[in-house]
Amino acid sequence: MNYPMRFRTFSLLALSLLVTCIISCNKSNPLVTDTPADYYPMHIGNYIIYRMDSLKFINVGSQDTVISYLAKEVVEDSITDNLGRPSFRVTRYLSDTNGISPWTPSIAFMVTPLTGSVEVVENNLRYIKMVTPVQDGISWLGNAYIDTKSDISQVPYMDGWNYTYASTGLPFDVLAGTIPETVTVSEVNSVTGLGDGSYVQTLYSAEIYGKNIGLIYKRFLYSVYQSPNVQYPAGATIGYGLTFNMISHN
């Protein structure tokens, strides 16, 4: 099976992150029992700047390309969600990778810190990003509030993801340097398809949070590959990928 080179590179990077996580899990501290507030602090005015790489498949998926930006996520205001719970509005701004162009608003999302969890609503999808306690092996259905089963679902591939903590309290390297205390949330890592390789679905998602900082690293990939046929002689891949790597924060 011939995959596009950038797709293979992306997959190898995801595998490398997974291997690092597995190795780190064997070294993690089982006595660490932090709370979501330790790894997802919310204070108005706080911001994090990332390098954001967006993977897109073009020409009916016969080619792929990565478009890079600087992304700045700013906690801008305190609000309430539709249940009346205290929440925060976060706005993501984009600029070019040199930081020359003005910051342009891209998307706003809502973060709701609760006693035992943190919920995030983005693009009308509600995620349970973290739960208590933050400790290796703790798992939960992070997409439980998302419609993945109806005929009108736009994200059936998000069904049944079992979020799990790993590498709690261990350091992790990002563009900003080494973050001394982090936790990895492994969300999904699966490859499914037909035995002959004519159809392959790849799902990978992991987020890493720095203590007293927030999200410091994220990698996501969803792709569906179909082998060459009469309609698509070179084969076709649909889907998308995103990587966020922290550069700085206040």
What's the confidence (pLDDT) of residue 58? 80
Predicted confidence (pLDDT) at residue 13 exceeds the cutoff of 60: no
CA distances 21 to 71, 96, 145, 172, Å, are: 25, 31, 27, 10
Single-letter amino acid, residue 108: A
Q: Which are the contacts of 78, defined by CB distance < 8 A and separation ≥ 6? A: 44, 86, 87, 88, 89
Q: Is the pTM here over 0.95, yes or no?
A: no
In this prediction, residue 2 carries a pLDDT of: 47
Instruction: Give residue 62's pLDDT.
Output: 60
The span from the CA of 203 to the CA of 11, in Å, is 10
Q: Give yes or no for residue 190 having a pLDDT over 90.
A: yes
Nearest to 223 by CA among 242, 205, 238, 236: 238
What share of the chain has pLDDT > 90, as a percent?
Answer: 75
Q: Which are the contacts of 37, defined by CB distance < 8 A and separation ≥ 6? A: 113
Q: Is the pLDDT of residue 176 over 60?
A: yes
User: pLDDT by residue (tens digit) across 233-248?
Assistant: 878 888 999 999 999 9
| CB neighbourhood size of 176 (10 A) | 18
**Tokens linked to 170:** 């261990």
CA distances (Å), 58 to each of 22, 61, 100, 189, 240, in order?
33, 5, 27, 24, 10
Whether the predicted pLDDT of 39 surpasses 90: yes
Residue 29: pLDDT band with limits 50, 70, 90: low
Please determine, for residue 47, whether its predicted confidence score (pLDDT) is greater than 60.
Answer: yes
Q: Once rounded to an integer, what is the mean pLDDT over residues 185-205?
A: 92
